[in-house]
Structure 1
Amino acid sequence: MKYIHRIFFLVPVLISACQSHKPTVASLPLTEAQQRLPENAVGGLKTAAGLQTTLFASEPAIMNPTNMDIDEKGRVWITEAYNYRNELNPGHPYKAAGDRIMILEDRDGDGKADTAKVFYQDTCINAALGICVLGNKVIVSCSPNVFVFTDTDGDDKADKKELLFRGIGGVQHDHAIHAFTFGPDGKLYFNFGNAGDSILDKNGNVIRDADGQLIANKGKPYRQGMIFRCDEDGSHLEVMAHNFRNNYEVAVDAFGNMWQSDNDDDGNRGVRINYILEHGNYGYTDEMTGASWQSRRMNMEDSIPYRHWHLNDPGVVPNLLQTGSGSPTGMVVYEGDLLPAVFHNQMIHGEPGHNVVRSYPAKKYGAGYTATIENILESATDRWFRPSDVCVAPDGSLFVADWYDPGVGGHQVGDLDRGRIFRIAPPGSSYKVKPPVLNTAADAVAALKSPNLSTRYLAWTKLRGMGASAEGALKEMYHDGNPRYQARALWLLSRLSNGADYVKKAFEDSNEDIRIAAIRAAGEMSLSSDTLYKAMYRTLVTDTSAAVRRQLLLTMYHRREKEMPLNWALLAAQYDGKDRWYLEALGIAADGNWDACFNEWRKLPANTQHPASDHDIIWRARTAAALPLLAALIQEPDQDPLQNKRYFRAFDFYPAAESTPVLLSLLQGTHPQQASINALTFLQLDANAVPQTPAMAALLHNSLLVFNGQMEFVDLVLKYHLRDQNDHLLQMVLDTKRDDLSGYAMKTLLECGGKPLVIKAMSKQDTAAAFTLVNAIGRAQDRTNRELLRSLMQNNVYALTLRQQATRNLGHGWDGYADLWNMVERKVLPADLDTVAQAVLTHAWRQDIKAKAVAHYQPANVRHDLAPVDKLVTLPGNISGGKKVFASYCATCHLAGNTGVNFGPALTEIGSKLTKSALYDAVITPDAGISFGFEGYFFKLKDGSTVLGYIASETKDEVDVRTAGGQGVKIQQKNISSRKPYEHSLMPTGLATAMPQQELVDLVTYLSSLKK
């Protein structure tokens, strides 16, 4: 805090002399305080071979940089977030002043900023997450608004502030609006995450797409996070792709390819890199219902990281690369040549969760790509390195913004005062930037070749304004020999009055990337005449490149030329049965016109060379004509139905009126494994659609045997309310080692009238079996389960240890805590359970119950002498001891590897994401930073009961609420009386003081060892 008064009121500000210090080479390890000093910043990092990292700027000149851009002069523009989540720091003295947009400049070319200017400061841009510099205009993304600031007089001060868009998510939401970037086509590209929800124009009007569909997370058709493209003034807004979780920044290359990262639900090791197919669905939630990836469905993927994105579903574009855990941020495509060749023309990306800046070298693969990982800059010793953005300067050097914090945002901040900017270049490279001269077309063409986006914007704007007079210079650039320069020129040539001629010629270029750019350019041109469109198909419909044919398909989206279905069929006939990118392009192209496309395709001969390709197209189709063919594939006698669940899943993407008759027909088959077909069919059918006949009942009961002992068995029993399967359900509770299955089976057993059977089983005094039953009962916190637990607690016929366990199981849900406290308060709790009740209630996460219990018991075991975090991080811990502490305190709500319960964020790789100090903060003060998606909600139901948990999934019919212990509670929307956010973390406060200090140290030591 000691620097703050200087940096807020002195403009420009001379950069601290500490930046001129060379990195310290110490013979002894640095202390924690020394490691945090700017002069030691580079020493804590590791740079890729052939490159050198230098410190360009740091505190006190800047702090908490969230996003960055570099202008044509080489100046670095920063959005700061001193006020990030400022409700967590209500007493800090500069809350009223607001956050800043800073301009950092190196005037002498030594690679270090000499001055820092405040371009703009106000509370309206607190914790802005995007900045895009376009000449004298600066676009700043700060949820729920997008602002355009204009410097009208060239004094590096914002003279005008205008709205570009509004109504995007909540204030200061990390998952809402993100940065804008300038595309090679002269359009602006940007995105928002799954809290963006909707977007309004500058006047607050709802925006609809070209088809009149509302652009909002309403599922008609758009869901969750989205990518957008628009004109510079915000008009002609298009949704380029959707159904992401928290896509942070879209990067666009010279050919118009879009690339971005996407964050998973915390802890699920599903962070991904995406190559974007225009108009594609990227599968974060169910396309039809909006249900979460956690909701059970047919043909679920085998592992959570892939299940997370619905990758087995027809209609979901595949991921380019999955990188495990992380917290991905800014991305750029490096189209310079200063860095080593491995990084040329590749994505470069900040990954603060793993303290690394890395590239993903991509290789063409059919209609898509494959990619690998190549690190550029990573933490060697400094785990506070949190790269929030990357940007390319005019000289081709790479700049990295470092948020610099023990954590990575996520609604929490551990350090307010620090932040760094690094420059990466070959050793000895000076930083001398000569601003472009744009007097002539030749000047502008030279600037259009720049690796820097702001420079290219100025060049593009100049050349576009020159019109036909720039044609000669652009033609020369087109024939330069560099495909990326050629593509940049083509975009502008296509805008000329004779642009169609250039595009037609580019259709025949030997380079497939130029042909793809030409297809995209044609798609953005006015096609009032069909001649260009016809020429495109005539030339390219049998192109040897699958990628070119893919792009041709994507231009068909929602077009209605009479030749379109036949052209689609011809392209479908070239599908090889292996290329998912190509298959999804077929699906995107046929959207809204499936009947005509499918009909034309069926007129063509069967694909004898790739017979599986026809099966895939039937699976991917969305026309009633495909349903009988799906049924035929299921009934092929040499196929195992259990290995072809994907065909059953495909029925979910049709209206019930179309799918139900075909599904019912499957029950009448004679397949060698007809019982398996029947079992899967009953799972897919609406229970109300199944005829209530003895013959149908017999089929249903016989099909149960197919799934004996599996989750699907319970699904069928619950779905059809079968009350004659209680013995089987009880055996599943007793036999399974899967907590999720035993709890689900017990819940179903009780709902099907099995309570007397459970009580009878516990009366046999088999201690192990009784404990298994009590624990299974405790996994659901509905009224029936709680009543059963209370009756067990009060019945002395059961062993004390069993009754104590019932007490623990009662006290972990919202209503369960209330039930247990009421027993204490009304003095009906058996005396021999009082000690257990005390331990449960005085550490409850339900704050009102905890307060009452603490006042009642005055527990002596609550500690008040916990050392401060800066002391705790220095204390030695024991990993094996910490693992035991985890099992005792944390495993009831968190997963670590295969241990624990999937309720709160998984902690399997938490040591790669958080430092020890951040881990201590998370355990000691869980309310300070609640992971997005794990916020609690309090539901009151019309029957008077209550449910507290986080929303795992929500559709128009039901809400899937995860309660403590990981059990899911599905609530029908019609039964909800009210809902409101829960003001606390669902993780219990006081956990750190419930254990000896050494156990806390051991726990954090263990958690910090959980790394990728």
Structure 2
Amino acid sequence: MIRILTAALFCCLPLLCRADEYQPKVAEASKDAELALEGFVLPDGIQGRLLAAEPNIANPVAFYVANDGRVFVCETFRQEIGVEDNRNHMDWLHNDLRLETVEERLAMFKKYLGHEVEKYATEHDRIRLLEDTNGDGTLDSSKVFAQGFNNILDGTGAGVLELDGNVYYTCIPKLWKMQDTDGDGKADRHEALHHGYGVRVAFRGHDMHGLVVGPDGRLYFSIGDRGYNVITKEGTRLKRPDSGAVFRCDLDGTNLEVFAYGLRNSQELAFDNNGNLFTVDNNSDSGDQARLVYVVQDSDSGWRMYYQYLDDRGPWNRERMWYPHQADDETAAVQPAYILPPIVNISDGPSGFTFYPGLGLADRYNDHFFLADFRGTAGNSGIRSFAVTPKGATFDITDSHEFIWSILATDVDFAPDGSLYVTDWVNGWTGEGKGRLYRFADKEHISAVTGANVTKLLASGLTDFKAEELMELLNHADRRVRQMAQFELVKREEFPLLLKAAESLTDDTKSRHVMWALWQFGLQSAERATKVAAAFLQHSSSESEITTQQLKIFADLARRHPIDAVLPSDLRAAWRERAAELTKVADLRVAGFAAVALGKIGKAEDAAPLIKLLTRNNDADPVLRHQAVMGLVPLAERSPGSLLNFVNNPESTTATQRALAVVFRRTDDMAGLSKLGSGDPETNLEVARALMDERTGTAKFMVLHSVTSDLKGDLLRRALEAMYRIGSDEAATLVAEFASNGTTDDSMRAVAAEMLKTWNNPQQTDTVNGRWRPLPQREVSGLDEVVRPHLAGMLAGPKEVRQTAIEVAAMLGLKDVIPTLKEMLADDAAEENTRVAAFKALANLEADIDSLLNKGRGDMSEAIRVASLELLAERRPEDAVPALKSTLDVGSVKAKQTALRLLGQINTPATAEVLASAFDAYNKNMLPKAVALDLLQASEAVGSDKLTKLVNNFRMDQKMIGTKVAEWNECLEGGNAERGRTVFFGRAAASCRRCHKVNGEGADVGPDLSAVAKDKDRTYLLEAIVDPNAKIAKGFETTIIVDINGRIHSGIIKEETADVVKLMTPKGAIITVATDDIDERAKGQSGMPSDITKALSREDVRDLVEFMAGLKTAKDGSHGKEGE
């Protein structure tokens, strides 16, 4: 046999570490990394090469290629061993929702975990340094640059960047700055620039990341929705514990500010050639989609972490926040004005993100972004590429396509030589101690990088270049060289030279970098900012992009320094005039930045042109709306009340009034919001959001909006929430009146009825958005009298209202409803759930339990008979045992399950005997398999010696079968399909819909399950949940085969028999390999988490199986094979 690879590949050799170094579990060297290259789908002309693999790199989250070619890699070993996820700890969810500081998170860990919390400090995250020490293009050296990131509070180290010898590292709760002062490849200086990131647990992976240096020379980075509460070096507190955000600061950590917020988990950031910032934000696994976001300063993308724990994600889905602006009529009608919506929906698992520097690829890729799309399995993951084109003040996407595919990419970046580096996670979600770094190069165009001396220029640092030479490099074809030249000019204090260059600006890259260098100088002092502002004013241009950059820079300098210190009165007046005039131009990009600039220096009277801009825009361009709002905000702050004259002005449009609501929201102007509240429904809704969603303005809201049949949709929902919070007799009356009103929206009537049910013991989270807003227990002494007059209307409502009304009547002891309840119970044709609710209510309201039990036992409805058993077990447990035993003999499956559950709650010797007999019957096949789980749980609950032995024997017999699925056999039958559907679509802990689709609902990451049960039995379905790697669905399993002749075959298995394996190659061809000709075979892993059962009970698993077992025909009538 011919072996084409050995385990002694240079990149797979383990390296010696000091004895005191942390030694995580890392996979051994193998040839798999080299073989995997054959499975990647590459564009024509692109060649791939392995640079490093395990054990020299493991669990790579992100990486950075330094200008000298060194590679810094973020490695994680703390996933689910310190970096936690609320889905695995739902018991602490409410505690997590109310955390305000990272110190409170530590206290929560100790409260729930006790001494077990110490385990969170056993594993580390770290930075690995890879180098090419002999110049052969391979990364032959691997060292641990920094480790010890194992504090209990530490998150995933998910961002790294090197600049001028400083290595920046984002690892919750800190932003780190490190140095290697002795050149040994290991950090010996560590400085925490900030502390306080990652207030909450939220979801694993929602960490700090995205480090990038902007055109202004500042450090930009992001955090997921774990939130932040940070005190800056200047003493300012930045606090949003419920939201993801983008930050920027100077390179020493000073002047930290929130650049944008309302993001869910935007992992990385990238600037285009005009200095516009973009990110791609992740979706919430609820049918929403990931989003390309233009990150505009001070923008709010709308996401809050507590939305995640609402089954429908609350306003995020209901108000269509994740849709592009005015994507359709429904979106235009409900999408909030306070958010900046995305450009487009793209990707399923956005991770690494970078921008093409300008050389190394074909011209097609000029101005293109590259995005790692991580979906948990290589076959569905890879690198996307796209560009953006201007569209008014915002952008549109173009040329979106898969660039490299079938690689589980976590990050992507360009090396100095123009090639594309990609890290490969290899398998799964939590890390298996494996990892690879690959290089992809365009063999035709890579020479352009050499011709332009890019590698040498970047490695040199440009320190020996003259100033005039640096100025010429500002026009270099590679942006990294241009930026390095810009930064070097700033370091050398070439301020006069750059001011001179600003006298002759043209629309080219050199002029942009000249302006950006002046931006950096202007940030240094008010004196220099004044000179920059004067130069821009004196040397204005008709070129729109130059004008845009000047406005943008001027506004930022006015933000950094006190206005009066930056601008003498004459210069300020001239800039005011210029900015006001530019708000009128047709170019919306110019007009938008002019609006922001005007706000920074304007006076109260400068609101007029901004209002006119909003009116002209009429909500057509969301970025222009946002920029006009951000122009008005500082004017309103400097001159309180100055905008009230524009409220409800006859000449104002709805779009203008909604924008004013956003201004008042941002400035906490209650007077403005109150005045706006008498406007049109769209404006009223925007006011309601401002008052209710993140504030406690319930009383003010109710002055404006009472719960009436005139209110609709999301405005009505907030009005009901306001009543619930006020909690008075009057408020309860309004809610009861609404719940009984048959002319109003049925779904909202059901919400109102639910509120009445918990009125005196209110839930602790906001019913609209899930925010932690605790209410004390209260006693509305006359609640029964409040509800009584409206009960008939509620009982006459739809089933959701009717059933809740019955529960309310029982809770309040309203005995005058007993006749109605008896009629409902006696009506065999009535809806079954209503009859059950009536039976249970009568049990609470009537003294004559015997007659009710007799009625229940003889009822035609199994649900009523089951309710009767439950009542008997509750009121007379010892009398219930014989009845429950009888039910085990003759009852239906559902009745038997109920009987076993109830027996488990009655711990007597008689119960133990019944359960032991039931075990004997089960073993003799006299009880159905559908009751196995109930029998085991009841026996464990009663816990006699005999029952314990029977349970242990049952478990041992399962284990002896030797398969994981056998250990879950009690979950094969007997589930509840409706509950299973809820687990599939609504349970955050399961997140099934994150990857799978059923009848059009869900995502396309994994197989479509719409008709999965057509030819798959329950054992297959159960195995897919508890042991997903046992049988990977066809079309989703990637396999690499080396045949006896040394040839490598890679592809997706299409068919496999005892004699042959048929693969579909990355190019779409079908090849057949005889089984006898296979020398070696490497099987891919399933993208489904192998430990999903940690977050599910056995009942959940059984219910999921039951739900999927019913999926035999897709909605369109097909029996598709995707779910095989």
TM score, norm. by length of structure 2: 0.63
Per the alignment, residue 14 of structure 2 pairs with: 7
Matches within 5 A, 1:191-590: 191-200=222-231, 208-209=235-236, 214-217=237-240, 223-285=242-304, 294=312, 300-301=318-319, 312-323=335-346, 326-353=348-375, 354-372=380-398, 374-379=400-405, 382=406, 385-405=407-427, 407-408=428-429, 412-413=430-431, 415-427=432-444, 429=446, 433-434=455-456, 435-436=459-460, 437-439=462-464, 440-445=466-471, 458-468=484-494, 471=497, 483-494=508-519, 495=521, 497=528, 498-505=531-538, 507-512=540-545, 514-516=547-549, 518-524=551-557, 526=561, 527=563, 528-531=565-568, 532-543=571-582, 544=585, 545-555=587-597, 561=603, 564-566=606-608, 568-590=610-632
Relative distance call for 1:796 and 1:402 in structure 2 (3 A) is same
* Cα drift, residue 260 of structure 1: 1.5
Stretch moving more, 515-524 or 987-996: 987-996
Q: Does the aligned pair in 1 maintain the 2:825–2:835 contact within 8 Å?
A: no
Distance 1:374 1:852 in 2: 65
Relative distance call for 1:224 and 1:123 in structure 2 (3 A) is closer
Distance 1:364 1:844 in 2: 62
Deviations 1:218-266 (A, max 9, x none): 5xxxx41121111111011111112222221222345442211222333
Q: Extract unaligned runs of 5+ from structure 1.
A: 12-32, 635-640, 873-881, 927-982
Q: Does the aligned pair in 2 maintain the 1:339–1:425 contact within 8 Å?
A: yes
Distance 1:352 1:393 in 2: 21
Per the alignment, residue 32 of structure 2 pairs with: 37
**Which of 845, 862, 878 does residue 801 from structure 1 map onto?**
862
* Cα drift, residue 280 of structure 1: 1.8
**Which of 717, 739, 743 does residue 706 from structure 1 map onto?**
743
Counterpart code for 2:257:
E
Residue 824, structure 1, aligned to residue 846, structure 2:
no
Relative distance call for 1:45 and 1:265 in structure 2 (3 A) is same
Matches within 5 A, 1:843-858: 855=948, 858=951
Deviations 1:940-988 (A, max 9, x none): xxxxxxxxxxxxxxxxxxxxxxxxxxxxxxxxxxxxxxxxxxx994411
* Cα drift, residue 71 of structure 1: 1.2
Matches within 5 A, 1:875-894: 888=977, 891-894=980-983
* Cα drift, residue 330 of structure 1: 2.0
Matches within 5 A, 1:904-983: 904-907=990-993, 909-910=995-996, 912-913=1004-1005, 923-924=1025-1026
3-state DSSP of counterpart to 1:103: strand
Relative distance call for 1:821 and 1:81 in structure 2 (3 A) is farther
Relative distance call for 1:853 and 1:272 in structure 2 (3 A) is farther
Deviations 1:89-140 (A, max 9, x none): 99xx999795543333457877643443443344559952111011211112
Counterpart code for 2:190:
K
Counterpart code for 1:802:
A
Relative distance call for 1:632 and 1:163 in structure 2 (3 A) is closer
TM score, norm. by length of structure 1: 0.70
Q: Does the aligned pair in 2 maintain the 1:225–1:243 contact within 8 Å?
A: yes
Relative distance call for 1:518 and 1:568 in structure 2 (3 A) is closer
Residue 722, structure 1, aligned to residue 803, structure 2:
no
3-state DSSP of counterpart to 1:349: strand
Q: Does the aligned pair in 1 maintain the 2:361–2:446 contact within 8 Å?
A: no
Distance 1:792 1:342 in 2: 78
Per the alignment, residue 139 of structure 1 pairs with: 168
3-state DSSP of counterpart to 2:41: strand
Q: Does the aligned pair in 1 maintain the 2:678–2:684 contact within 8 Å?
A: no
Distance 2:253 2:1025 in 1: 44
Distance 2:610 2:291 in 1: 30
* Cα drift, residue 68 of structure 1: 1.0
Per the alignment, residue 52 of structure 2 pairs with: 57
3-state DSSP of counterpart to 2:549: helix
Counterpart code for 1:542:
E
Q: Does the aligned pair in 2 maintain the 1:173–1:195 contact within 8 Å?
A: no
Q: Does the aligned pair in 2 maintain the 1:268–1:305 contact within 8 Å?
A: no
Distance 1:323 1:400 in 2: 20
* Cα drift, residue 701 of structure 1: 5.8
Q: Does the aligned pair in 2 maintain the 1:83–1:99 contact within 8 Å?
A: yes
Per the alignment, residue 767 of structure 2 pairs with: none
Deviations 1:139-169 (A, max 9, x none): 1222223222212244433232222223322
Counterpart code for 2:566:
S
Q: Does the aligned pair in 1 maintain the 2:359–2:446 contact within 8 Å?
A: no
* Cα drift, residue 819 of structure 1: 8.6
Stretch moving more, 145-154 or 443-452: 443-452
3-state DSSP of counterpart to 1:824: coil
Which is richer in helix?
Answer: 2
* Cα drift, residue 174 of structure 1: 2.5
3-state DSSP of counterpart to 2:157: coil
Residue 69, structure 1, aligned to residue 78, structure 2:
no
Q: Does the aligned pair in 2 maintain the 1:144–1:176 contact within 8 Å?
A: no
Deviations 1:600-630 (A, max 9, x none): 584699796x945444445545255655764
Distance 2:34 2:553 in 1: 48
Distance 1:298 1:80 in 2: 33
Counterpart code for 1:492:
A
Relative distance call for 1:296 and 1:98 in structure 2 (3 A) is closer
Relative distance call for 1:868 and 1:856 in structure 2 (3 A) is closer
Larger radius of gyration: 2
Q: Does the aligned pair in 2 maintain the 1:284–1:293 contact within 8 Å?
A: no
Q: Does the aligned pair in 1 maintain the 2:245–2:261 contact within 8 Å?
A: yes
Distance 2:191 2:950 in 1: 59
Stretch moving more, 495-504 or 855-864: 855-864
Residue 660, structure 1, aligned to residue 702, structure 2:
yes
Counterpart code for 2:341:
P
3-state DSSP of counterpart to 2:225: coil
3-state DSSP of counterpart to 1:361: strand
* Cα drift, residue 912 of structure 1: 4.7
Relative distance call for 1:890 and 1:94 in structure 2 (3 A) is closer
Q: Does the aligned pair in 2 maintain the 1:648–1:684 contact within 8 Å?
A: no
Relative distance call for 1:316 and 1:372 in structure 2 (3 A) is same
Deviations 1:654-687 (A, max 9, x none): 84554433336x97xxx9x799999789647536
* Cα drift, residue 60 of structure 1: 3.7
Per the alignment, residue 987 of structure 1 pairs with: 1096
Q: Report the count of equivalent residues.
A: 865
Distance 2:592 2:870 in 1: 58
Relative distance call for 1:285 and 1:996 in structure 2 (3 A) is closer
Q: Does the aligned pair in 1 maintain the 2:300–2:339 contact within 8 Å?
A: yes
Distance 1:266 1:677 in 2: 22
